[in-house]
Amino acid sequence: MIEYDFESFALAHDPIASAVGLAREAVDDYVLYEGAGEWCFAAGRLATVTMDAQRIYCRCGDTEYVREWSGSPGSALHAALAQLPIDDWHAYGRVNFGFAELLAHVRRRGAAPPSGPLVRLIVPRTEVRLNGRRVSIRSVEVSDRDRIRAQLTAPAQSADHAAVGIDIRTGESAYRGRVTQAVKEIRQGQYQKVILSRSVRLPFPVDLPATYELGRRANTPARSFLLRLDGAAAAGFSPEVIVTVDEDRRVATQPLAGTRAFGRGARADAAARTELRTDPKEIYEHAVSVLAAVGEMRTICAPESVSVEEFMGIRERGSVQHLASLVQGVLADDRTAWDALEAVFPAVTASGIPKRESLDAISRMDEPRGLYSGAVLRISHSGALDAALVLRAVYQEGDGAWLRAGAGIVADSVPEREFEETCEKLGSIAPYVIPMNPRSG
């Protein structure tokens, strides 16, 4: 059984700069994940678990196997992680939006299986947790701990380049046309709500660690992340969690639906907040999202344990403010954290209602989503899970980099307003995108 050693000491610099410094020096895959005031940096591949539509691939040390799976993908992932010869493991990774097509209760009837990897998890060789002014390191190698300690105690280095302007108003006519079509289909009774998105392509490679640091200091996310996994990379400031499960089996999801701009001055922000709380379209969009979340939670929680807290509160997330509610319960005895993720995936605020019909509309009217509106997560041997919804992010793969944002379309949606909403959301990431410095890239 592989075991970790542990070390803790005072943190010399603030946690954001320290975490970004670790990411910048990483030579292998890594995930940086922030939640509840703690930054977790997971680096190196002690073990990997990868899933596509037919098979699950596991590797730990010199042992590797490939198996076909059937039934519940979450159960297959749970079993694969449980079989790892690692004591006290934590796994980090990504779940692409296409994972929804593996779920029997939402996948589109007659649709071809999605292609490519849909889940990629690493159990790290080294895990660093930065909390306030303390740092703790778990690693299987003394040399890795020594290297991390040296990096965290070295003098801080400041970035020598800045963000550039990005035109986020591209493709307006095409997006408005898709919204018009969705409103028509909703009024015909095909579905109640769908999230349609648009991408903004960037003409340069992005310095993701620098972008993350600048953007995180300007944003107020529910979660944030920076990752490089199997050739794909992203940095983002998630406005909501898809689902959390703690070690006491308490489950929570927080649907955000209903949006107005934020950060335009106290008077304008207050006026927008009042409008958000009184606009019938925004209230309806939020209410149906909460109702859907309650129904999903009841499928995996103990009877009578599901409740709604903070109904229609306000959450300020960077350049926008949202209506927010908290739906919580207690996981049923025969359920796991993976069952909880399956029940609420994809997030209702990033797909639509009903989910199967909204997925069909997305497949017809949106370009393939990849990681966008999927999840970045961490999961523990203890059964705890924390999964962030992937929005407000910059994505990079191969020679391409892009931003992406969407809006929730209902029967009363106005195409011009929905386009403006995508611009407001892009304002949480676009002003902080830093090109790769040719000298470092």
Residue 438 has pLDDT above 60, yes or no: no
Report the distance separating Cα 269 and Cα 238, nearest Å: 21
Residue 256 has pLDDT above 70, yes or no: yes
Q: What is the pLDDT of residues 313-343, one digit of tens each?
A: 888 887 888 898 999 999 999 999 999 999 9
Summarize the confidence of residues 362-382 as an average pLDDT: 97
Residue 439 has pLDDT above 70, yes or no: no
Please calculate the CA angle 357-177-199 and round it to the nearest 5 degrees: 80
Report the candidate in 402, 432, 375 with the shortest Cα–Cα distance to residue 197.
402
Least confident interval from 134-138, 241-245, 273-277: 273-277
Q: Give the pLDDT score at 160.
A: 65
Residue 441 has pLDDT above 50, yes or no: no
Q: Give the pLDDT score at 319.
A: 82
The DSSP letter of residue 98 is G
Q: Dmax of the chain from CA atoms?
A: 64
In sign, the C-alpha dihedral spanning 107, 108, 113, 115 is: negative
Summarize the confidence of residues 36-58 as an average pLDDT: 96
Assess whether 240 carries a catalytic annotation: yes
Q: What is the pLDDT of residues 266-317, one digit of tens each?
A: 989 899 889 888 989 889 988 989 999 999 999 999 989 999 988 988 888 8
Q: What is the pLDDT of residues 78-93, one digit of tens each?
A: 999 999 999 899 999 9
One of 34, 101, 127, 240 is an active-site residue; which one?
240
Domains, the chain, with CATH or none: 172-432 (3.60.120.10)
Q: Give the pLDDT score at 198.
A: 98
Q: Give the pLDDT score at 158.
A: 63
Report the distance separating Cα 37 and Cα 35, nearest Å: 6
Least confident interval from 118-122, 186-190, 234-238, 398-402: 398-402
Report the candidate in 321, 296, 320, 317 with the shortest Cα–Cα distance to residue 308.
296
Residue located via tokens 């029940």: 343
The model's confidence at residue 154, banded by pLDDT at 50, 70 and 90, is confident
Residue 192 has pLDDT above 80, yes or no: yes
Tell me what the pLDDT averaged over the chain comes to.
93
Beta bridge partners of 243: 387
Least confident interval from 141-150, 218-227, 237-246, 356-365: 141-150
Q: How many CB atoms lie within 10 A of CB 329?
A: 22
Summarize the confidence of residues 42-68 as an average pLDDT: 96
Residue 49 has pLDDT above 50, yes or no: yes
Least confident interval from 34-48, 106-120, 122-136, 267-281: 267-281
